[in-house]
Homo-oligomer: A and B are copies of this chain.
């Protein structure tokens, strides 16, 4: 205990010192409310970078993905959340609520005003007179409740409350059981057990230990809404339970420290004791801000526009919320490897978030990759989606390959390349079977036998295209490891996308990815299944529901469902053939050939953007604005990106154009502000155009990548020339080795497209 006090004193001193000595306060640019309205679904509560505990408000009908819903009744503050996700909500476990007046255990809640949020801190004034402040450590939540009005007051802990119990489509969370025990007049412990949610995950248990700063003067528990005063425990009989403490009227402030664990009550208590019990709230808040400043400061962006800094640093903040570091909190196996959860999902984040981490947090990214390999080792496959310690689901390919390849090809240290390759080959060679939405590659036997996924399987279009890209990731890693036979095999397989390329003409554009039957024929009678199929409860039944009607365009031989936005049972996931026919990130030169050459390709791209077919809301099109580079039209990339950044992102609460998807959308924004964009899963960065005069990126180990933009102005969006470390750079891309030891990329900007933009060497293709 003495040791603990010393530790706390030192931490407090450190925090004060940090505040006094600190440099730039990056956290001050972050507005966690950006993206909380509209479709962003971002989480505005308190979290550490990659922090397991995400403490924030659960609102309204508890049906919102991040828990929070602007303007809705605050039900309380729970400890686990995800940020930016869609589909059925996950988590919302262990909810704390400061009540005033009469206690009700079934329909408590309060309106709120005067919200404030910053990295690691959230505050709101509840209409019931309680001011709630939240901060956190990695594994604990810290609450400070100030009761501003006379009258009865207390704090309840609802272990039966979770998000999304009424979500549709088999993506609801299910409360399997909950338990609570009042240990003393200032301690409550317990747990809940939950399954389901978007990833239709297996059961997991969340344990907590809460210690309160003031002794309770009354107490009780409830089960299924039946409250019992002076009861100290409710055991788990499958029903929702909770407990409350009441306080004397002169108790104005009560603080709570809640340790959370996926392992046990004792571990939850240990987390509480080690990280937050006895430490003043403001010290915890300052420590959280210190950690955020250290992380956010990996990129130092120079701008005089406060809104630009707000947008940028909030985006960077969003990217650092997930995945979640649960090392030491893995309930499924023991291992010396790190353990990360809440990959939600790689299909979104592989394109931007992971390449960004590779750049600015290589040690973290190596840990993340090692945890993916460890998940393969113990769960059979690397995840595409994973949450609550369960793999599930895959929206398209097995995109862990892209994450692993991005890390291996950029030489991140401490990853076993052989094991990594083995994990990737498992995806590529062994059908997952049963529920092929869970992990691995559904329809793989078709893909191996036919070279494409036939219409016998769902998401055949998305799967075929992404498997081809995933195979290219494997081919490159195999080549780097000297496994040349393997490299050649997978390089061949990476051309599989061509097997679904049908040379039909639509809107004067030639060639689209279209459905094909297992007998090799184009499937002109293909019908999308109805929504019923989607809503069948997993495990999916064998009966297929009757098909819906095809759009007219299809019957006329035009490309398949050109403007639809599919889901699990459809041919494409979250997009259409217009967009997916561009998804060949490893084989763009060949795509240009298939499209009839450079000019056709450029006009196809123009047509695509100008017709409003491009969809920044979702991830499949993330790379498309950059495809102009392969056609020698850097200027067009710059224009498209510039318009997207300007028109679709803001520093308002609705400042994100779609789900932030665990930071994937925000990371897209970050890269394009710096001035380059990764071709994920390859050792390739595509030069676009910077939005800041100078950006300094800390690559770790004292290595700095500086990006400078001479002559930058709102009108000067084009690139006149580029130098790297002073040498003229005649390519529209660079590789990691070009900057890994630190470098300066210097753009000279111009109001008009120039020669460099037309002549820079195109990025590589397969």
Residues of A within 8 A of B (CB): 174, 176-177, 179, 181, 191, 193, 195, 202-203, 205, 233-238, 263-267, 269-270, 328, 331-334, 376-381, 422, 425-426, 429-436, 440, 445, 539, 541-542
Please pick, from B191, B434, B440, the residue contacting A381 in the complex, using a CB distance under 8 A. B434
Question: Do A264 and B191 touch across chains, with their CB atoms under 8 A apart?
Answer: yes
CA gap between A347 and B153 in the complex, in Å: 61
CB distance from A543 to the nearest CB of B (A): 9
Determine whether the beta carbon of B430 is less than 8 Å from that of A432: no
Given A179-B265, A195-B333, A234-B266, 11 further pairs, Cβ under 8 A? A174-B334, A176-B332, A179-B264, A203-B331, A235-B270, A236-B263, A237-B267, A380-B539, A422-B541, A425-B542, A431-B433
List the B side residues contacting A331 at CB < 8 Å: 176, 193, 203
Q: Which residues of B contact A264 (CB under 8 A)?
A: 177, 179, 191, 193, 235-236
Chain B residues with Cβ under 8 A from A425's Cβ?
542
CA distance A433 to B380 in the complex (A): 10
In the complex, A237 Cα to B270 Cα: how many Å?
A: 10
Q: How many Å lie between the Cα of A436 and that of B176 in the bound state?
A: 29
A193-B331 Cα distance, complex, nearest whole Å: 8
Given contacts A333-B195, A333-B203, A542-B425, contact A266 B434 (CB under 8 A): no
Q: List 26 A-B contacts (CB under 8 A).
A: A174-B334, A176-B331, A177-B263, A177-B334, A179-B265, A179-B266, A193-B263, A195-B333, A203-B331, A205-B205, A234-B266, A235-B267, A235-B269, A236-B266, A377-B539, A378-B539, A380-B435, A381-B434, A422-B542, A426-B539, A430-B542, A431-B431, A432-B434, A433-B433, A434-B440, A445-B445
Question: Complex Cα distance A429/B434, Å?
Answer: 10
Complex alpha-carbon distance, A234 and B269, angstroms: 11
| Shortest Cβ gap from A401 to chain B (Å) | 15
Is there contact, CB below 8 Å, between A176 and B333? yes
Contact assessment for A434 and B270 in the assembled complex, using a CB-CB cutoff below 8 Å: no
Residues of B within 8 A of A440 (CB): 433-434
Which residues of the other chain, B, contact A328 by a CB distance below 8 angstroms? Answer: 237
> Once the chains bind, are B235 and A334 in contact (CB under 8 Å)?
no
A378 / chain B contacts, CB cutoff of 8 Å: 539
Contact, CB under 8 Å: B179 / A235: no
Selected contact of A265 from candidates B174, B265, B333, CB within 8 Å:
B265
The docked-state distance in angstroms from the alpha carbon of A433 to that of B442 is 10
List 4 tightest A-B contacts by C-beta distance, closest first: A433-B433, A235-B266, A236-B264, A235-B270
> Once the chains are docked, how many angstroms separate the CA of A539 from the CA of B429?
14
CB–CB B426/A542 < 8 A: yes
Q: Give CA–CA (A43, B440) in the complex, Å.
A: 41
Task: Give the docked Cα–Cα distance between A381 and B380 (Å).
Answer: 17
Closest B residue, CB atoms, query A425? B542
Q: Which residues of B contact A436 (CB under 8 A)?
A: 433
A439 — nearest CB in chain B belongs to which residue? B434
Q: Report the Cα distance A700→B436, complex, angstroms.
A: 44
Residues on B with beta carbons closer than 8 Å to the beta carbon of A263 = 177, 193, 236
Closest-CB distance, A102 to chain B (whole angstroms): 28
Q: Nearest Cβ distance between residue A225 and chain B, in whole angstroms? A: 18
**Chain B residue contacts of A377, Cβ below 8 A:** 539
Report the Cα distance A191→B331, complex, angstroms: 13
| Partner pick for A332 among B181, B195, B235, B429, CB 8 A cutoff | B195
- For the complex, what is the distance from the CA of A99 to the CA of B166, rounded to whole Å? 53
Q: Across the interface, which residues of B come within 8 angstroms of A434, CB to CB?
A: 380-381, 430-433, 440
Asked if B202 and A332 make an inter-chain contact with CB atoms under 8 angstroms apart, the answer reads yes
Give the distance to chain B from A299, nearest Cβ to Cβ, in Å: 36
CA A429 – CA B540 in complex, angstroms?
13
Residues of B within 8 A of A233 (CB): 266
Q: How far apart sit A177 and B426, CA to CA, in the bound complex (Å)?
A: 29
Name the residue of chain B whose CB is nearest to the CB of A202: B332
- Cα distance A436–B380 when bound, in Å? 11
Instruction: Tell which of A205, A269, A431, A433 has the most Cβ of chain B within 10 Å.
Output: A433
Chain B residue numbers with a CB within 8 Å of A236 are 263-264, 266-267
Collect the chain B residues with CB atoms within 8 Å of residue A431's CB: 431, 433-434
Q: In chain B, what residue has the closest Cβ to A389? A: B203
**Can you name the residue of chain B whose Cβ is closest to the Cβ of A189?**
B265
Output the residue of A333, A422, A435 with the most chain B CB within 10 A.
Answer: A333
Which residues of B are found within 8 Å of A265, using beta-carbon distances?
Answer: 179, 265
CA–CA, A445 and B445, complex, Å: 10
Q: Using A174-B334, A193-B331 as known contacts, say yes or no to A181 and B266 having CB atoms under 8 A apart.
A: yes
B residues in contact with A435, CB < 8 Å: 380
Nearest Cβ distance between residue A539 and chain B, in whole angstroms? 5
User: In the complex, are the beta carbons of A203 and B422 less than 8 A apart?
Assistant: no
| CA A380 to CA B422, docked complex, whole Å | 27
Closest chain B CB from A289 CB (angstroms)? 29
What is the CA–CA distance of A174 and B270 in the complex, to the nearest angstrom? 23
With CB as the reference atom, state the residue of chain B lying closest to A233.
B266
CA distance A348 to B191 in the complex (A): 38
Could you tell me the distance between the alpha carbons of A436 and B179 in the complex, rounded to whole angstroms?
Answer: 37
Residue from A176, A269, A377 having most chain B Cβ neighbours under 10 A: A176
Across the interface, do A176 and B334 meet the contact criterion of CB distance under 8 Å? yes
- Complex Cα distance A445/B446, Å? 12
**In the complex, A333 Cα to B205 Cα: how many Å?**
12
Task: Give the CA-CA distance A79 to B491 in the complex, in Å.
Answer: 55
Chain B residues, Cβ within 8 Å of A445: 445
B174 and A333 form a contact (CB under 8 A): yes
From A273, which residue of chain B is reached at the shortest CB distance?
B235
CB A484 to nearest CB in B, in angstroms, measures 18
Residues of B within 8 A of A193 (CB): 263-264, 331
Expressed in whole angstroms, the Cα–Cα distance for A270 and B238 within the complex equals: 13
Nearest CB in chain B to that of A444: its residue? B433
Shortest CB-to-CB span from A276 to chain B, Å, is: 16
Q: Please give the distance in Å from A380's CB to the nearest CB on chain B.
A: 5
Residues from chain B with Cβ under 8 Å of A238 in the complex: 334
Q: How far is the CB of A167 from chain B (nearest CB, A)?
A: 17
Q: How far is the CB of A191 from chain B (nearest CB, A)?
A: 6
Q: How far is B428's CA from A55's CA once the two chains are assembled, in angstroms?
A: 46
Distance from A498 Cβ to chain B, minimum over Cβ atoms (Å): 26
Neighbouring B residues of A267 by C-beta, 8 Å: 179, 235-237
Inside 8 A of A235's CB, which chain B residues have their CB? Answer: 264, 266-267, 269-270
**Residues on B with beta carbons closer than 8 Å to the beta carbon of A333:** 174, 176, 195, 203
Contact A430 B430 (CB under 8 A): no
Residue of B nearest to A432 (CB): B433
Task: For the complex, give the distance between the alpha carbons of A439 and B285 in Å.
Answer: 50
Most chain B beta carbons < 10 A, residue from A176, A235, A440: A235
Q: Provide the residues of chain B in CB contact with A429, threshold 8 Å.
A: 542
A266 to B431, CA, bound (A): 41
Contacts of A270 in B (CB 8 A): 235, 237
Docked CA distance A264–B177 (Å)? 9
Q: Measured between alpha carbons, how far is A205 from B436 in the docked complex, in Å?
A: 28
Taking CB as reference atom, which chain B residue is nearest A543? B422
Query: CA separation between A516 and B233, bound complex, in Å?
Result: 63
Give A331's nearest chain B residue, CB to CB. Answer: B203
